[in-house]
Amino acid sequence: MPQVEAKNLSDLMWVEKYRPIKLDDIVNQKEIVESLKNLMKEPAEMPHLLFTGPAGVGKTTTALCMSRQLLGEEWKRDTLELNASDERGIKMVRERVKEFASVFKIRTSESDERKFRIIILDEADEMTSEAQTALRRIIEDSSETTRFVIICNYLSQIIEPIQSRCAIFRFKRIEKEIIENHLKSLCKKEGIKYDDKAISQIFESTNGDLRHSINILQTASVMGSITVSNVLASLGLSGKSKVNDIIKLAMSGKFNEARIKLLELTAVYGMSEFDFLKYAYEAVYALKLSHPEDFASLIAEYDYRLTHGSHPEIQLTAFLAQLSRIGAKQ
């Protein structure tokens, strides 16, 4: 009996299956795409690039498309993609980036026109200041053979010496109509029935994050058609409502119960600590607190701590403890 070959991950995950491979296919970033295409006409003159903007708007995909078009068939060999949130210290910068950037001669033949390799450093705003300083030196030392594409959500978290060495591109949040039309087109390609209200619910729940929207769409499709109930079921594991419940528990003095639900949300269902704080920030206005400024300052403090490398579980637990104290004063 013949064996059935397992599908590739790209066949299973819609985010990968439908990821653009050409710059012209990038969703809703036309001005940036046109600017990059102009830069690519003179590869030898191309500067280092810094892509900044909200999550899920195409920054990493744009970098990969550009690398593919610039470097041709061997683009994978001559492209290094790293996620700084996984490896954000000095060791990563010195070992992996420096080793890759130090390769001087990369031409495969006399007719090979490529002048450099490309390093894509994603979530660079998660790097410590010390690591960024080390990166800045490497950028300077390897400019003849390497171009860096530095990607971040928050430009303010990138040190000025790196910003000044890059051409900065600010990606905009994708509009509702564009995301909804894109999701509907995926449903048609996959032969999945959908409800317009359900598609709108996905957008409202992901705040313009196209990557997250596609993941939610695929999760809901496993339950059958894309209905509001199926979308809510998909979101129920990690949606805003869960964060709201945790905030209310903490504010009412039920610290231990809030902590258990927090750990469940982050460790079991995969919500990032930054998403938790983002949803917590949005939840404050629904609580009608007498002193919302205390709450906003607290979130800003813990966002700063997490950005600078503090342990997520410890910091979010401390955050809930502080909420309990604030709640007692309300």
Sorted by sequence, the CB contacts under 8 Å of residue 161 that are 6+ apart come out as: 133, 136
Q: Is 53 left (phi over 0), alpha (psi -120 to 50) or beta?
A: left
Query: How far is 282 from 300, CA to CA, in rounded Å?
Result: 13
- Return phi, psi of residue 49, to 5°: -120, 150
For the chain, give the mean pLDDT.
83
Residues of the chain with CATH 3.40.50.300: 9-170
Q: What confidence score (pLDDT) does residue 179 get?
A: 94
- Which range is least confidently modeled, 38-52, 82-96, 165-179? 82-96
- In this structure, which topology does domain 240-329 adopt according to CATH? Zinc Finger, Delta Prime; domain 3 (1.20.272)
pLDDT tens for 244-285 read: 888 888 888 898 999 988 887 776 555 777 778 888 887 776
Which of 9-13, 42-46, 53-57, 296-300 is predicted least confidently? Answer: 9-13
Q: Is the pLDDT of residue 137 over 50?
A: yes
Beta bridge partners of 194: 226
| 85 and 126 Cβ atoms separated by less than 8 Å | yes
pLDDT band at 55, cuts 50/70/90?
confident
Q: How far apart (Å, rounded) are the C-alpha atoms in residues 31 and 164? A: 21
- CATH 1.20.272.10 residue ranges of the chain are 240-329
Q: Give the CA radius of gyration of the chain.
A: 22
CATH fit for domain 176-235, picks 1.10.8.60, 1.10.760.10, 3.40.50.10190, 3.40.50.150: 1.10.8.60
Residue with tokens 């830069």: 39
Query: Mean pLDDT across the stretch 9-21?
Result: 78
For the record, the structure tokens of 176 come out as 């509702």
The hierarchical CATH code for the domain 9-170 is 3.40.50.300
**CATH 1.10.8.60 residue spans of the chain:** 176-235
Which of 85-89, 162-166, 292-296, 314-318 holds the top average pLDDT? Answer: 162-166
Q: Which two tokens stand for residue 92?
A: 């990563």
Q: What is the band of 309 on the pLDDT scale with cuts at 50, 70, 90?
A: low
For residue 290, the model assigns a pLDDT of 67
Backbone angles phi, psi at 51, to 5 degrees: -100, 125
Please tell me the pTM assigned to this model: 0.69
Evaluate if residue 109 carries a pLDDT over 60. no
